[in-house]
Amino acid sequence: DSKTPILALKEWQKKRPELFVKRVYEQAGLDN
C-alpha cells in the first residue's frame, strides 16, 4: 500500500465517520 497515512485516514474516515468523530472527541478531552 503506497498511500500516505493521511490519505488512508481520510478514506477510513469516509467509511467509518462515527468512529473517527468519537476518537477525535476522546483525544480532545485528554488534551484539556
Convert the pLDDT of each residue in 1-32 to its tens digit: 677 888 988 888 888 878 777 777 777 776 65
Question: Phi/psi at 16 (nearest 5 deg)?
Answer: -130, 65
Count of Cβ atoms closer than 10 Å to residue 13 Cβ: 14
Q: Could you give the CA distance from residue 26 to residue 29 in angstroms, rounded to a whole number? A: 5
Instruction: Output the pLDDT for position 1.
Output: 60
Beta carbons within 8 Å of 8's beta carbon, 6+ residues apart: 1
Number of domains in the chain: 1
Instruction: Output the pLDDT for position 8.
Output: 86
Q: By residue range, what is the domain housing residue 5?
A: 1-32
pTM above 0.75, yes or no: no
Q: Could you give the CA distance from residue 2 to residue 7 in angstroms, rounded to a whole number? A: 10
